[in-house]
Structure 1
Amino acid sequence: MTQTPLPEHPPTAEPAPLALPDAAGARAWVEARTAEGFARVRELVARLREARPADPLTVLRSWDEVSLALSDVAAVGSLWANVHPLLEVRTACERAEVEADRLGTELRQDRGLYDVFAALDPAGLDPEAARLLDKTLQDFRRAGVDRDHATRARLAQIEERLTELVQDFGRTIRDDVRRVRVPADRLAGMPQDWLDAHPADADGLVTVTTDYPDAVPVRMFVHDPQVRRDVTVAFLQRGWPANEPLLTELVALRHELATLVGFPDWASYDAEVKMIGAGARIPEFIDRIAAAAEEPMRRDLDVVLERYRRDVPGATTIDAADAGYYEELVRKEQLDVDAQQVRTYFDFAKVRQGLLDVTGRLFGLRWVEVPDAPVWHEDVTVYDVYDESDLHDGADPDSAVPGERAQPASRRIGRIHLDLHPREGKYKHAAQFTLADGLVGRQLSEGALVCNFPRGLMEHSDVVTLFHEFGHLVHHVLAGRARWTRFSGVATEWDFVEAPSQMLEEWAWDAGVLRGFATDAAGEPIPAELVERMRAADDFGKGYQARQQMFYAAMSYWFHTDRPADLTGRMVELQQRYSPYAWIEGTHMFASFGHLGGYSSAYYTYMWSLVIAKDLFSAFDPGDLFAPEVALRYRHKVLAPGGSRDAADLVEDFLGRPYTFDAYAAWLAR
């Protein structure tokens, strides 16, 4: 029995409602949505099992419907589990995630389904459909579909437990907000607007939390070294001791899963589907970056230590409690950049609007606020996204459907949600969450940006972070006209996904770009010469920052490869080998290293992507970052294809050559 092919252009779905007035209603909505999605999946799967002999394209379309239904359930669950203000709703969403993962594992281990796909003849499929078939068969094999019943059962148990552990690990970090109470007179050095927002209590004490808007400026600006140390230690102790046994179990189960499906370790299993290709290449890459950063690290670290020794005679090392403060002193005293002056140009509201203006102009987009859109919290702002790019000859470069003509100008292509301030129970880092995978003629792309920025003045580093994270959202939206769910949005190899975001950071460093929104209280734009000094100051320390990143990358790799019994001891060893900073006794940074949940052994991704990002940026004219020819070519050749081609091929198509290490090496050395 064969299925009727899905219609090529059914009505485009509206974005799903995401808010209900009370906890019971929200929980019921999540549970009903999950049940409906699973029922749809099982109905489609039942039809698929009967689909033989079958037309390959019909089977793939049906499987894509399964993927879409699962994705829609898991996406809302993943977002709300991290942002919803009500605990019982977050808990319901975590259950929905577990159930979706359980069902996904069940399907990937279904030998009858696998046989349907294995029997398909790829001859006659277009390259993208053939790619989908190949990736689908790989997914089945990686799930252990070819193993015996007992092994498949154990793999299913492991997968479910891994989902729970990652949730527990992240929840512990999210909920573990530590507080340091400090006499008001010991906060000398802090910006006045921060002090105004943190009045002393009846005991004359100011509460400093470990949330970023508190911890980062305190560690940068407070003159009192003991206050800096107390806040730093609290920050580095988040998640401990609760997360240590969770992480130990997590890496052990990942290793067991990998070996059960034929890999020597988790890193090898994980790397198979990434650009790097092999787990053994990860430590080689880490050491290559560490070697390239050695001389720049020593050069700049000596400057910081020299300044530190003026206050602490005889010091030979510096640790994280003092590093940020003394780096800031060097930038202020020797490089003439005062971060407290710089931040007066970066009011949050103006930065947010400036970001929308910059990305709209760069990519041919228009962001239209939807003030009455349902949201999960009053802090969230919602925008519909309209495409206003010049499509020249009428062919739509974003469309993956051969021969499709351009739709009318200013068509709506998606919706975004910005949730940018910290609150209790919310995700503590910064990330883009998918809400809906965009499919051409089927469903609009929808995503959310979740960050933790101050409501008033921002550090410039926060501005850079906002540009970076928004880059993921742009990528998700622009790659939302896919033919297949599997390739929609940020669906490239995982060690490439950071490259477009890292490249977008460059626009947060350009004086001409910043003048459009970086203005002080009097409305004066940030001076170009100040931006030039900021750039020079940012270059200072990039060697030891790269080494710090390699410490994190080494920890993520070796924790999964060695599976040490003493996580703190192994962390200290790796910190001594790679990091420029001495370990602070009694701290356990790994317990709040949230990337160990999602990125597992692949934190090297950030630096791998940065190498590519520097090469991508070399194609742009630094004198005109908005030049439409290169910007739209980048949009159409790198962002819009999503995961429909290998990332290396997308980059080569844009650059006209394979990417190289050269641009990164030149940047690091200068």
Structure 2
Amino acid sequence: MPPSRRRGYRAGVTTSTPLSALPLPPTDEGWEEWLAQRCDGQLEQARTAVEQLKADPGADAVTVLARWNDASIALGNAFAAASLMSQVHPREAVRTRAEAAEQAAHKLSTDLSLDRALFDILAAVDADALDEGGQRVLRLTLRDFRRSGVDRDEATRERLRALAERETLVGQEFSKNIRDDVRRVHLEPEQLAGMPKDWVDAHPVGEDGRVEVTTDYPDVVPFMSFARDHTARAALRTEFLNRAWPANDGVLKELLALRAEHASLLGYDGWPDYDAEIKMIGRGAAIGEFIDEIAALAGESGRRDVAVLLARLQQDRPGDTTVAGSDAAYYAEVIRRENFDVDAQTVRTYFDFAAVRQGLLDVTGRLFGLDYRRVEDAPVWHEDVAVYDVLLDGEAIGRIHLDLHPREGKYKHAAQFDLQPGIAGRQLAEGVLVCNFPRGLMEHSDVVTLFHEFGHLVHHVLAGRHPWARFSGVATEWDFVEAPSQMLEEWAWDATVLRTFARNAAGEPIPAELVARMKAADDFGKGYLARTQMFYAAVSYRLHREQVEDTTAVVRSLQEHYDLFPYTEGTHFQAAFGHLEGYSSAYYTYMWSLVIAKDLFSAFDKDDLFADTTALRYRDRILAAGGSKDAADLVEDFLGRPYSPEAFRRWLEEAPQA
């Protein structure tokens, strides 16, 4: 290991030579070969680094940990490329090859985590010979080895290895079934009454005289909000809730059983206990307690607003006594229009996709001191992808790829994926935003989602300048990772911010008074939306805590207990609840993070969200810090005190002001 490498493992260390972006295939035909070279090559580099480490077990502490870091960087590179391409590449053959590469990366990761000789070398490292960052890396690495079962007997380790490999395969199958199952309803033209003209124009009448509407988000979201025909809304919602059913019924049961056995072999009382141990929440049982606490806190507000929905629905359908899930979004829009003077169809005329995308870059650039430069000739996997270099003080610190429209075979939700982790002096942080937005006018809810997901992307880039792979990017505890993104949503609700890019076809900026009404209207329903989130969190937690044969019965029971909208007969929400694969038992993290996000936002000047001092302190102490500290310590560094739930409680309890 060169002396400069051995002595230079400190956060923020960079070289004077500019780093280059990761080379991607220049043609559509080169992706399978590129993927094989990238993933197989990086896995081989990881093996070589480990072999060097094991060949010289008596090396000094800095050298041992540096070689482990080399292996971690290479393994992370392989994972990033494989995971991304399995979800976004337009060709099935490339996605399949990426899934195989992801399986190989998981296998190597599992093999290393169960390698007792490797663990013994790392456990023998003299922590006192390392700087503070190295000590943290060593401590977390040894913890992860023990959680993998490396100190168990050989038979147990082999069973854990088999379980981990099977969990990967089953998890991939679960996600693939969701990704590939796009359902459709065929409606009479008159059933599109209430839909925006541009949406109707994009859905022409077919040869059979009917209109096809899919379960992809650019169809579902506006249709559930604006379509007047409640039978059409109900039909589309039923199809949406039944995606990947029955294909994922057995797949999900197997995944849950594998995780339960995995946790049991390691001595935990179920998967939630195993999973929660390394999160801020700490205990599996605390997940259930948190869900019940939020449900109780949101109860009064939620029931109050559902009663408003029901009263308005009964003006149209006097015999109805409940608000169905297919009615909730529609009548929420009616209430916002009639009670708050906010017409979502008027609002959307201010949010042209291209202007919103540029506005997002302008806003976050100003906020965090970043410049984004479009790379017009960058190779991409699909023509929709827009590429930008990210610069800080004139220096390129990363590259982002925006893949924002739906297509067949693509990931169906909204998320940030890594293309490669950033490592100080070695490789640029590259991230990808994967969403499914319309190409024309956007709902304001889409704008909020775009700001949210971009929060993950800027977090990934800004935290991509650490020497340790362990600290790079969004590397904090998993129940904190949503907090920075949820906080960035606040900028999508500020009139001054929105008026910098939100303009109608005549070039007029969105009126500040309209934004004020939008904010007031958005407060309507926050209680019942929180209860729905707790229903989702309870599904995530309870399906992992209890082994059941009929998952639909559990979902139905939990919806009746937590949600303020009834179960939709004949549906199987859990089959397409993709977060069960990634978040497993920890979907509660969205609300846990929101509690912290509201507290983080309390530090900003609400009259000037671009205030440099606060924004840059937040950038440096929360985002750029990556995983270099525990999340609670990062928050305390920024706020000057431990985080508190009071800002969240005040927000949730405040009644909307019409």
Residue 14 of structure 1 is matched in structure 2 by 20
Q: How does 1:30-49 map to 2 (within 5 A)?
A: 30-49=35-54
1:43-82 correspondence runs (5 A): 43-82=48-87
Of residues 143, 157, 165 in structure 2, which corresponds to 1:160? 165
RMSD: 1.2
Q: Residue 20 of structure 1: CA displacement?
A: 4.6
For residues 167-186 of structure 1, the aligned pairs below 5 Å read 167-186=172-191
5 Å-filtered alignment, 1:204-353, equals 204-353=209-358
1:54 is displaced (CA, Å) by 2.3
Residue 479 of structure 1 corresponds to which residue in structure 2? 463
Shift of residue 150 of structure 1? 1.3
* Distance (Å, rounded) in 2 between the aligned partners of 1:477 and 1:31: 25
- 2:100 corresponds in structure 1 to 95
Report the TM-score when normalising by structure 2.
0.97
- Given that 1:638 and 1:654 are in contact with CA atoms closer than 8 Å, whether structure 2 keeps it comes out as yes
Corresponding position of 1:200: 205
For residue 3 of structure 1, report the CA deviation from its aligned partner. 8.7
The whole-number CA distance in structure 1 between the counterparts of 2:612 and 2:40 is 46
Select which of 502, 509, 529 maps to 1:518: 502
Out of 628, 635, 643, the residue aligned to residue 659 of structure 1 is 643
* 8 Å Cα contact 1:3/1:51 also seen in 2: no
- Trace 1:488-637 onto structure 2 (pairs within 5 A): 488-637=472-621
Measured after TM superposition, the shift of residue 95 of structure 1 is 0.3
Contact 2:243 2:575 in 1 (8 A): yes
Deviations 1:533-572 (A, max 9, x none): 1001000000000000000000000000012211000000
Partner residue in 1 for 2:11: none
AA matched with 1:145: V
Code of the residue aligned with 2:22 in structure 1: it is: A
Decide whether the 8 Å contact of 1:12 with 1:442 is kept in 2: no
Note if 1:420 corresponds to 2:425. Answer: no
Tell me the alpha carbon deviations over residues 569-621 of structure 1, each in whole angstroms, 9 at most, x when there is no partner: 00000000100110110011111110000000000000000000000000000
CA offsets per residue over residues 341-367 of structure 1, 9 Å max, x none? 100000000000000000000000000
Distance 2:612 2:525 in 1: 33
Q: How many residues are matched?
A: 647
For 1:21-72, what per-residue CA distance to the aligned partner results, in whole angstroms no more than 9, with x for missing partners?
244x311221122222222122111111123322111111100000011111
Residue number in structure 2 paired with 1:121: 126
- Secondary structure class of the residue paired with 1:316: coil
TM-score between the two structures when normalised by the length of structure 1: 0.95
1-structure distance, mates of 2:239, 2:366: 42
Instruction: Extract unaligned runs of 5+ from structure 2.
Output: 9-13
Percent identity between the two aligned chains: 61
Does 2:342 correspond to 1:358? no
> Structure 1: which 5+ residue stretches go unaligned?
389-409
* Equivalent-residue separation in structure 1 for 2:579 and 2:261 (angstroms): 20
Distance in 2 (alpha carbons) for counterparts of 1:155 and 1:513:
51
CA deviation map 1:155-174 (0-9, x unaligned): 11111111111111111111
Deviations 1:430-481 (A, max 9, x none): 0000111111111111100000000000000000000000000010001011
* Structure 2 residue identity aligned to 1:522: A
CA contact (8 A) 2:451 2:492 kept: yes
Question: For the residues of structure 1 that align with 2:474 and 2:21, how far apart are their CA atoms?
Answer: 18
Aligned-partner residue type, residue 6 of structure 1? R
Aligned mates of 2:21, 2:250 — CA distance in 1: 40
Query: 1:164 and 1:512 mapped to 2: Cα distance?
Result: 48
Counterpart of 1:399?
A: none
Cα 1:278/1:12, change in 2 over 3 Å: farther
- Give the aligned residue type for 1:574: L
Amino acid at match of 2:226: F
Compute the displacement of 1:496 (Å). 0.2
Structure 1 residue 443 and structure 2 residue 442: aligned?
no
CA–CA separation in structure 2 for the residues paired with 1:625 and 1:641: 21
CA contact (8 A) 1:274 1:495 kept: yes
How far 1:124 moved relative to its partner? 3.1
SS in 2 for 1:368: strand
C-alpha separation between the residues in 2 aligned to 1:185 and 1:78?
A: 42
What is the identity, as a one-letter code, of the residue corresponding to 1:268?
A: D
Whole-angstrom CA distance in 1 between matches of 2:483 and 2:455: 9
Q: Report the 3-state secondary structure (helix = DSSP H, G, I; strand = E; otherwise coil) of the residue aligned with 1:434.
A: strand
**Structure 1, 326-335 or 515-524: larger mean CA deviation:** 326-335
Q: Bigger CA drift: 314-323 or 290-299?
A: 314-323
